[in-house]
Chain A
Amino acid sequence: MNILFSQFLLQIFFLTIVFLHISKKNFDVVWAYGIQSFIIVLLLFNSFLETQRTSLLLITLLVLIIKVILAPGFFTRLVKKNKLIFSASTYLNIPVTLIILALLTAIAHSNTFAPLTTIIPANKILLSLALSSMFLSLFLTINSKSALSQIISILSLENSIVAFAIFAGLEQSFSLQIGILFDISVWLFISTVFVSMIYKHFGSLDVISMKKLID
């Protein structure tokens, strides 16, 4: 795959995270995550084409099933079942959020992180973008008031790490990948149950409503 195309895919990936920050509708959030995961599938498939490793193809298929089909399906059903059309707002308003996103992106592109982003010098821009995606996903977890957005932000962080690993050329073993996917499957199941319980108990997915749980 052409590096420019890879860069294009990663830019879309990055933009999906920015979109997750500004989106107010839960359906849109789920869709953005689906697109993001599909980009990961494309990148993995590209790795398969380059390396011709059958295990990588298997992983690509599993990622497609779990992250692109099952996970968004789970969340869509959850949103429909609980009629959670609109997600709770963020702690910071959109302009401030965008400023912080810009700052985090600048930090990830700074020379301080050069030891990380120059693992493969040819992929420096791609790695910087993947690192920015990781920071932005983490910030999404912090800034979001909705439990659903927080869950998706953690999944998004995981996708960012995979993207970083692909461009850093870090060989990940087959068993490790299978383990991570299994982990995500179980995690999805538990978090769905957990979110449903939170909604039933508090009548909202706004994490602020859980404040009364503290001592």
Chain B
Amino acid sequence: MITAITLQYIFLGLISLFFVGAIGSLLFRKNDAVTSLWSNSFAILASLAGLLFATLTYLYGHSLSFSLGAIALPIFSLSFHIDKLSAFFIFTISLISLLCSIYAIGYVTHFYKKYDLGVLGFFYHAFILGMLLVVSSSNGLFFLIAWELMSLASYFLVIYDRNDPSNIKAGFLYLVMTHAGTALILIALLLLYKFTGSFDFETIASLSGAIPLSIKNSVFILAVIGFGTKSGIVPFHIWLPSAHPAAPSHVSALMSGVMIKTGIYMMIRVFLYMLWPVPTWWGLTILVLGSISSLLGVLYALTEHDIKRLLAYHSIENIGIILLGLGSALTFTSLGLPSLALLGLTAALFHTLNHATFKSLLFLSAGWVASQTHTKNMEEYGGLIKYMPYTALFFLIASMAISALPPFNGFFSEWLTFQSLFLGITLLSLYTKWIFVLAAGSLAFTGGLALACFVKAFGITFLARPRSEEIAHTKESSFFPRLSMGLLALLCLLFGIFSGSLTWLLQTTGKDFVAFKNTASFVSVSLNQQVLIGHNFSFISLASLFILFMFIILLVIYITRFVINKNQKISMGTTWDCGTDLTGRMEISATGFSRSVIVIFKGILRPSIQHNVEYHDSESRYLAKSRSITLGIKDIYQSYFYQPLHRAINTVSVRIKSIQSGNINAYILYIFMALVVALFFVL
């Protein structure tokens, strides 16, 4: 029998485990092996407790509300409200934390005697705890504390490898951006407080009718920018491609896999729970932002040579896909179509879970490659499949999942998102229909480009011949990283196979909201995992897909073996290349692979080519000593948004600097003037 008290104890237990893990990591910091064991064991235990808690909360069936301590402040309380949405996010965070912690046991060995593992363990626990508190808090001020804990802990994890100056720079950018976002979130919460007199989420939700529409709109804009900055929505994403790769790989996996989803969680919480009902333009704005983020995210990923930056850009793309689901949910709910809205929300939640699994797997496998080759530059990889076949297999599975290839999980959540968008195109009026058309087109483009990008990432990294000497010294992942990656790969497959059941389960999450109370489901799932949308609008059957794929594979084998190679004798020999030996330099490079796509999208990517030739003789131009081509991609957000903004702030700052005269009298005058003006306003 599950009771609220039991759940409370489990929740407090998991918080305590993170505390003990964090403090113990610092206490045992002198011994690297002990610290690693302590830190990761407690993280594993706490994550298991998190999984148990989330599962039991789902089974319990009711929301759980409780407070810690007896703080007598009317506006602040350590209060928690855990409904199915919170439980879903706790489940996702705990699942990825569990697998990342298992991975870390083997991975952090390369930090031994180089960095302080106690510090890593401390901030790692604080980071996960921060994320769990963010998705379970129900008081605005308490939420901000949890948000800040998560942000600061992740900042210290980003700059953990402090010997690389680029990591420090990335950390600083992250710190600035995350606090700019937090400032906007704070303003949004203060606006809500002004009109409801409370920071409690439930109270705000119950009094949301008293909030004027103009204020609701302001809160929406502030929340989209504030939470969007953390989620990495274009154009507030600039910190993400540099910060995620800078952190240790198991932290990158957590940041990319789950941390950025806390922004999505809060958007759902604010828009669909606290401020519902919402105007139509909110949903359409989210749809447009999602379309831009997904398309630009994948385009910039294609141009990357740094494997972790490439993956980071794909996080932006996938956040865009999640936003497409959320945007359609908001639009449908505003137009009085709750069943369709529930479908959109289900698609968003399903992709949240799926992205967490395959993106973590990608970061973990890429992290192992980077730790072995001592570089993140893909141009120096090649042929790694021979040295680390398991890691290659796991990377391949994750690549297929992120490219939305069945039977892996990414396919099913993107399929649901497509259905949601297609329903919008079919049912809505002309003006909104075209935004759904744009979103569906963007998603289709994104899917194709993501596939191209992962063909490049996998091919350049694992196939062909090694392009650097380091490759020969690389080793396959050790037991714990392999176990962790293997489990994630299995989850990618299982979440795909049981996508029908998961769709059904995630729909119940949405039904916890007032917006979807007693809403008839638009999706029906049969026992054989067949998912049917509406009354024969569309359907997908895993069994049919499986048969289709088996048929295609067998057909390809048959055609190759018995039609193409019929009467042909195959003899194996060394590859002939005009009499010269084959080297890694003769292979297609990552740059070469993506060049054709860059040329197609040159209007957006603004590529630049610089040819450098060095001659043997400075007088003669016939004999070149060396030739090099530098390909550059212009970052349009930097060029057209952040740099002009930076210049404007700089100009204003220089002007304002003149008031800093160094004269104490002047400073007191400013205070005096501020006081008089404040009194004029207040009195």
Contact = CB atoms under 8 A, between A and B. Distances in A.
Given A115-B683, A138-B668, A142-B668, A107 B676 contact: yes
Nearest to B667: A142
A215 B660 CA distance: 10
B663 A211 contact: yes
A208 B663 contact: yes
Contacts of A138: 668, 672, 675
A114 B683 CA distance: 8
A213 B660 CA distance: 12
A113 interface: yes
Is chain B's binding surface mostly helix, strand, loop or mixed? helix
B662 interface: yes
Contact of A143 (B660, B662, B664, B665): B665
Contact of A113 (B661, B663, B672, B679): B679
B281 to A, nearest CB: 42
A27 interface: no
Contacts of B665: 91, 141-145, 150, 207
Contact of B662 (A141, A150, A211): A211
A116 B669 contact: no
Contacts of A175: none
Nearest to B671: A138
Given A142-B669, A142-B672, A150 B683 contact: no
B537 interface: no
Contacts of B676: 107, 135
A113 B683 contact: yes
Interface in A112-129: 112-116
B622 interface: no
A30 to B, nearest CB: 21
Contacts, number: 40
A144 B663 CA distance: 11
A27 B669 CA distance: 26
B576 interface: no
Interface residues of B, number: 14
A112 B541 CA distance: 75
B664 A112 contact: no
A139 B663 contact: no
A27 to B, nearest CB: 23
A115 B683 CA distance: 7
A214 interface: yes
B664 A207 contact: yes
Contacts of A144: 665
A138 B683 CA distance: 20
B683 A213 contact: no
Contacts of A107: 676
B680 interface: yes
A213 B668 contact: no
A120 to B, nearest CB: 17
Given A138-B672, A139-B672, A142-B672, A150 B680 contact: no
Contacts of B679: 112-113, 116
Nearest to A116: B683
Given A107-B676, A138-B668, A214 B683 contact: no
B662 A213 contact: yes
A54 B314 CA distance: 75
B678 to A, nearest CB: 12
B411 to A, nearest CB: 60
B672 A214 contact: no
Contacts of B660: 214
Interface in A70-116: 91, 107, 112-116
Nearest to B664: A207
A141 B683 contact: no
Contacts of A112: 679-680, 683
Nearest to B673: A142
Contacts of A150: 664-665
A107 B683 CA distance: 13
Interface string A47-72: 00000000000000000000000000
B671 to A, nearest CB: 8
B672 A207 contact: no
Nearest to B683: A115
Contacts of B664: 150, 207
A35 to B, nearest CB: 24
Given A113-B683, A214-B661, 12 more contacts: A112-B679, A114-B683, A115-B683, A116-B683, A138-B668, A138-B672, A138-B675, A139-B672, A141-B665, A143-B665, A207-B663, A214-B660
Interface of A: 91, 107, 112-116, 135, 138-139, 141-145, 150, 207-208, 210-211, 213-215
12 contacts: A91-B665, A107-B676, A112-B679, A112-B683, A114-B683, A138-B672, A138-B675, A139-B672, A141-B665, A142-B669, A144-B665, A150-B665
Leading 3 A-B pairs by shortest Cβ distance: A214-B662, A142-B669, A115-B683
